[in-house]
Amino acid sequence: MRLITIDDYNSKTMQLARPVFDKHKRVLLAAGRSIHPTYLEKLKQMDIHYLFIEDAVSFGITMDEVLDMPTWIDAIGVIQQASQSIEKKQEFPIREIQKLAGRIVEETIKRKAIVLIPTSYLEEELRLYAHSVNVALLTIQLAKMRTLTPVQLRDLAVGALLHDIGKAITKDYEQHPSAGFDFLRKHREVSLLSAHVCYQHHERFDGKGFPRGLKEEQVHEFAQICAIANGYENALSKDKMAPHQAIEWMMTKNGSEFSLELVQLFVQGVPMYTPGSRVVLNNGRAAIVTKVVANLQRPIVRYLDNQEEVSLSDNHTLLIAEVIKNEGSAQ
């Protein structure tokens, strides 16, 4: 299995590995089938950018680092319900949020690494909610490298899941952290820590963020972790960067948007080359990443010419020279 852009889909050699959903979270196209050109064009009109596919190149790649699709879709539904409860002035589903936070922590802890599904895998109507779920997954992926209690991890997950809840209250972009904070602190079931993750996730290490222009240690570390996750997820989903490009972009933000220490933590905890990525090594041979094991930046790859698997962790002279962006080019 691998994730491809919809423009790279080839009905003669590929089948869907995971279902495609509509804006109501219903299965539009099931896994295990090829996509008729008419349906493929419809997906493009729906502005869906990515597909999970199986083909000969990706045979045997499981992508266990990716959250299973039913869990991801259910999580998106919980965040959607929370947002709509505010808009409709209904009871806020805090217990469902807390349960989801626990599930996010559980799913992240049991994996060596987390690989995100870009929100543009879905229609526009679901992307804001999917973004919040992705940010929470990545936030906990980074936080688990700290010495935190289960309660701290859960509270951090709640804050990350609700970091954009203010967007259901105000259309003023620079006011949504404050609006979300004011809303959350009125709910006694939400910890002040969770509320501050929402409040401070747009503050910057250099003090040029909003809403208060806090800097360095004035910004709670948990909010800084959420901010890094937020930046990476936007680079991946909105700017359509490949994971290695998004990480390189994050590294340029040392000392400006983010602290050097947390960026280093990020690089240690997030793989640049995800399973299913097609690459060219410095020996000129094309390969595909099959697994991320001990060293997240030194994965196991499989040569495309003879199917031999090689661990880059065990072969220190082998380097990934290029990532193949589509079926006919490298970068």
Q: Which residues contact 186 (CB under 8 A, 6 or more apart)?
A: none
What does each of the 331 residues of the chain score in pLDDT, given as a tens digit?
999 999 999 999 999 999 999 999 999 999 999 999 999 999 999 999 999 999 999 999 999 999 999 999 999 999 999 999 999 999 999 999 999 999 999 999 999 999 999 999 999 999 999 999 999 999 999 999 998 999 999 999 999 999 999 999 999 999 999 999 999 999 999 999 999 999 999 999 999 999 999 999 999 999 999 999 999 999 999 999 999 999 999 999 988 999 999 999 999 999 999 999 999 999 999 999 999 988 899 999 999 999 999 999 999 999 999 998 765 433 4
Q: Pick the closest to residue 186 from 198, 174, 175, 202 (CA basis).
A: 198
- Reduced to 3 states, what is the DSSP secondary structure of residue 305? coil
CA 130-134-135 angle, to 5 degrees, is 115
Backbone dihedral region of 118: left (phi > 0), alpha (psi from -120 to 50 degrees) or beta? Answer: beta
CB 153, CB 144: distance < 8 Å: yes
CB 193, CB 127: distance < 8 Å: no
**CA 167, 173, 176, 177 torsion: positive or negative?**
positive
The confidence score (pLDDT) of residue 293 equals 87
Longest dimension (CA), the chain: 61
- Alpha carbon 134 to chain centroid distance? 4
User: Scanning the structure block, which residue is given the tokens 């899941």?
Assistant: 161
The confidence score (pLDDT) of residue 330 equals 39
Q: What tens digit of pLDDT does each residue of 178-231 get?
A: 999 999 999 999 999 999 999 999 999 999 999 999 999 999 999 999 999 999
DSSP state of 326: B
CA 225-322-50 angle, to 5 degrees, is 65
CB 197, CB 219: distance < 8 Å: no
Q: How far apart are CA 200 and CA 195, in angstroms?
A: 9
Which two three-digit tokens encode residue 223? 């909010």
Q: How far apart are CA 223 and CA 173, in angstroms?
A: 18
The confidence score (pLDDT) of residue 294 equals 80
The confidence score (pLDDT) of residue 147 equals 87
β-bridge mates for residue 302, sequence order: 288, 309
- Alpha carbon 158 to chain centroid distance? 16
Q: Which residues contact 51 (CB under 8 A, 6 or more apart)?
A: 3, 4, 5, 6, 9, 16, 20, 35, 43, 121
pTM: 0.95
SS3 content of the chain, % helix, strand, coil (to 5): 45, 10, 45
Q: What tens digit of pLDDT does each residue of 245-272 get?
A: 999 999 999 889 999 999 999 999 999 9
Q: How far apart are CA 83 and CA 260, in angstroms?
A: 34
